[in-house]
Amino acid sequence: KNLDTLYRQVIMDHYKNPRNKGILEDGSLTINMNNPTCGDRIQLTMKVEDGKVTDSKFEGEGCSISMSSASMMTQAIKGKNIDDALKLSKIFSDMMLGKEYDDNIDLGDIEALQGVSQFPARIKCATLAWKAMEKGLNENNQ
């Protein structure tokens, strides 16, 4: 199997079996965001305690790229402190822009989305959940 096939399987797995689907009732942060080009939307809830994202869930409707990216994102930020979560978001954004990115940290499943950088129309799909996360954490940081 080539890497593309493997990556596609990871993306489809997150789409069909989303991690962290739902709404955190005790979530300290709630962010709603939509992709204006298609109307797809996400509601992200995050619990932040002592500067750390201790839990995160998402709800929404969208294409396989947006929903799988949300699933991967919520998985990746759990347990991270705010700065590290934002750093990961920067890495993801660089990856989407086809820029060099810091791959010294373990990106886990997120790497499966790197091929999206080849399809400019889909980059907004992949970054939707990340933009929501950034917005929530930046507001929380103030």
**46 vs 9: CA distance, rounded Å:** 27
Dihedral over Cα of 44, 93, 76, 47: its sign: negative
- Torsion angle of the four alpha carbons 43, 35, 64, 126, in this order, in degrees rounded to the nearest 10: -90
- Which residues are paired to 60 by β-bridges? 42
Rounded to a whole number of angstroms, the minimum distance from the CB of residue 8 to ligand FES is: 16
Binder to ligand FES among 113, 128, 129, 132 (CB under 6 A)? 128
Binder to ligand FES among 40, 55, 109, 134 (CB under 6 A)? 40
Binder to ligand FES among 18, 27, 62, 136 (CB under 6 A)? 62
Name the residue nearer to ligand FES (CB basis): 18 or 62: 62
Rounded to a whole number of angstroms, the minimum distance from the CB of residue 42 to ligand FES is: 9
Structure tokens, 129 = 């959940």
Name the residue nearer to ligand FES (CB basis): 37 or 104: 37
Should residue 53 be labelled a site residue for ligand FES when binding is judged by CB under 6 A?
no
Should residue 14 be labelled a site residue for ligand FES when binding is judged by CB under 6 A?
no
Q: Write a three-state SS string for 2-53.
A: CHHHHHHHHHHHHHHCCCCECCCCCCCEEEEEECCCCCCEEEEEEEEECCEE
Should residue 66 be labelled a site residue for ligand FES when binding is judged by CB under 6 A?
yes
Footprint (CB under 6 A) of ligand FES, residues 93-122: 121-122
Q: For residue 109, what is the DSSP state? A: G
**Which residues of this protein are in contact with ligand FES, per CB under 6 A?**
35, 37-38, 40, 62-63, 65-66, 121-122, 124-125, 128
